[in-house]
Structure 1
Amino acid sequence: MNRAQLLFAVLSFVSVQQSFAQEVPKCPSTPYLIVSPGEYDHTRYAPSQQERLYDGGSFFASIDGEDDDNGDGVSDYLVQPTWVASHIKAYQADRPSGYAPAFKRPSTWYRLKVFDEEREHFKSKKRIDDSYRGVGNTWNRGHLAQRADANRIAPEYGCNTHVFANAVPQRASLNQGIWLGLENYISSLANQRGEVWIVTGPIFSKNTKLETIGDAGEIPVPIPDQVFKVVFMESDAGVQVLSFIYDNKYDDTPPEYKSGRCQSDLRYDHTPFLVSLADVERATGLTFFGDVDQDLSEFKELRASRLPALEADNHVGYCL
């Protein structure tokens, strides 16, 4: 191949790539007017405590109100959900990554009227997005319900995950590493089991001062000390539970988090972060199975010692 032929090939490749990119729709500047599909039961295993409920289509969120979240006797707003619940179903993808097709992310996250209460409280007209600006290398807008799972319903649902009813300030090295691996493990688990239910949220240590992001005039958004995720699986034997807690504040990145920007669940060892459902309840003050009229204390104290194995065909994610 001579130089002219090589140049033509390169330009042709670039043209094809640009054409492909133009064919992928971008999420609009405002969220889609959609609600949770009838065949999804996002709140099936949600905690009993409910504050300001928000239907995100692919998830339900309980947004924190003006209450005392860290036990210091002072009312505060977390400007984030106390929990997000989602129902994930199996998805058979025609691409090696296992991901469903997606639209391009919106340039800014969607502004929700539900947070007007916080804007009034803090006397600020700023977007919550503004509070995250400039700190992205340290604190990400961490999804609690993963966009990739929402795309399994439709790309429009994936777009609607970009709201602060579905996010907390999450350490970048956690969000882009082992947490993403956990999300994709759970997506893979949904493929294998047919469906799973997830509850995710922040943990704030009691009697400690809230550390926030956001400059003067912006809405202060508290940073969780930890984040939790609970997976519920149904079978003929009953309900199985996997519970996890990960540190979100640290000076040095924990060695288990350091695996590069890899989206495959195969890279990470999540067993050190397995806890009991009772541990999650004690850390958050939330109550699971609150409507069950029997003593579940022994069940809640159970802690899995390992993660269920997955068949290769069910794996989701890839490594860069």
Structure 2
Amino acid sequence: MAIIRHKYFFLSYSEEHEQAEWAAYYLTGGSKQQHSLSRPYFSQDPLVDTDSAHWKNYKDSGFDKGHLVPAADMKFSEEAYNETFYTSNVAPQNRAFNAGVWNRLEQKIRYWADKYTALFIVTGSILHDNLVTIGEEEVSVPDYFFKIVVRVQNNGLVMIPFLVPNKKSDLPLYTFATTIDEIERITQIDFNQKLSEKIDEKIEKELNYKEWSFY
């Protein structure tokens, strides 16, 4: 996996699956000024040496080019906004999922950024063998996506991970809350090390969505 560092977010690109296994960024309250920005065309990521998947793989596939780092979180500058339209930052998403439960989760995270001042967010695709693929480059279609949302509280870290099936759902968001242990088990990625050495075993194993305001 190649770690790609853009100015406003970074990601780990999987050439095998032609998408990022995860992308991470900071989101602060009040930073999402709604500038009137023109939506750019999707383009290949110039920092991916092996070339990120071409947008044409998605054409007539029935799947959306679903952002990992949402464009709406990066409206504080044109440069930041445009960076989210690299194809390294998208994955095939069911259209009802992208416009539905995934959009609801992104909106809730923006609400939390305003409420809690600042967040660190990791978003990724659950990638494994034998996934359905689209396009000539065989872009894998994840069956699940995850988000890990972290905030600082009382000199410690509070986090809430989500694991959401790539399909339409009207269930409440808290029903998708899970644990870091579960995300690590499925992805085989050590987020404990990646997020902070201060995250102890108690935080990893706990599932306590009540520390987050859902209403």
TM-score normalised by the chain length of structure 1? 0.61
Counterpart residue identity of residue 97, structure 2 = L
CA deviation string 1:286-311 (max 9, x = no partner): 10232766893332111124462279
Q: Secondary structure of 1:289's partner?
A: helix
Q: 2:18 aligns with which of 79, 83, 108?
A: 79
Residue 29 of structure 2 is aligned to residue 90 of structure 1: yes
CA deviation string 1:187-236 (max 9, x = no partner): 1111111110000100035xx5121011xxx2110011100000010021
Tell me, yes or no, if the aligned pair for 1:196 and 1:232 is still in contact at 8 Å: yes
Counterpart residue identity of residue 169, structure 2 = P
Identical amino acids, percent of aligned pairs: 24
Residue 157 of structure 2 is aligned to residue 245 of structure 1: no
Q: 2:169 aligns with which of 254, 262, 277?
A: 254
Equivalent residue, structure 1, for 2:133: 212
Residue 106 of structure 2 is aligned to residue 159 of structure 1: no
Equivalent residue, structure 2, for 1:171: 94
- The alpha-carbon deviation at position 56 of structure 1 amounts to 2.9
- The alpha-carbon deviation at position 113 of structure 1 amounts to 3.4
Residue 4 of structure 2 is aligned to residue 54 of structure 1: yes
Counterpart residue identity of residue 55, structure 2 = D
**What are the within-5 Å matches in structure 2 for residues 280-291 of structure 1?**
280-290=183-193
Distance in 1 (CA, whole Å) between partners of 2:51 and 2:165 is 27
Residue 104 of structure 2 is aligned to residue 181 of structure 1: yes
Distance in 2 (CA, whole Å) between partners of 1:307 and 1:177 is 24
Distance in 2 (CA, whole Å) between partners of 1:238 and 1:294 is 8
Residue 38 of structure 2 is aligned to residue 104 of structure 1: yes
Tell me, yes or no, if the aligned pair for 1:103 and 1:159 is still in contact at 8 Å: no
The list of structure 1 runs, each at least 4 consecutive aligned residues, that deviate by more than 6 angstroms after superposition, is 291-295
Equivalences, count: 214
Judging by fraction of residues, say which structure has more strand: 2
TM-score normalised by the chain length of structure 2? 0.89
Q: 2:180 aligns with which of 277, 280, 295?
A: 277
Distance in 2 (CA, whole Å) between partners of 1:306 and 1:178 is 20
Tell me, yes or no, if the aligned pair for 2:17 and 2:127 is still in contact at 8 Å: no
Kindly report the root-mean-square deviation, in angstroms, between the aligned alpha carbons of the 2 structures.
2.4
Which ranges in structure 2 are unaligned for 5 or more consecutive residues? none
CA deviation string 1:238-297 (max 9, x = no partner): 10001000011x5xx3343xxxxxxxxxxxx20110000111101111102327668933
Distance in 2 (CA, whole Å) between partners of 1:223 and 1:174 is 13
Tell me, yes or no, if the aligned pair for 1:197 and 1:233 is still in contact at 8 Å: yes
Q: Structure 1 residues 162 and 301 mapped into 2: Cα distance closer, same or farther (>3 Å)?
A: same
Q: Structure 1 residues 102 and 58 mapped into 2: Cα distance closer, same or farther (>3 Å)?
A: farther
Which ranges in structure 1 are unaligned for 5 or more consecutive residues? 1-50, 66-76, 94-98, 120-126, 257-268, 312-320
Between structure 1 and structure 2, the one with the greater Rg is 1
Q: Secondary structure of 2:50's partner?
A: helix
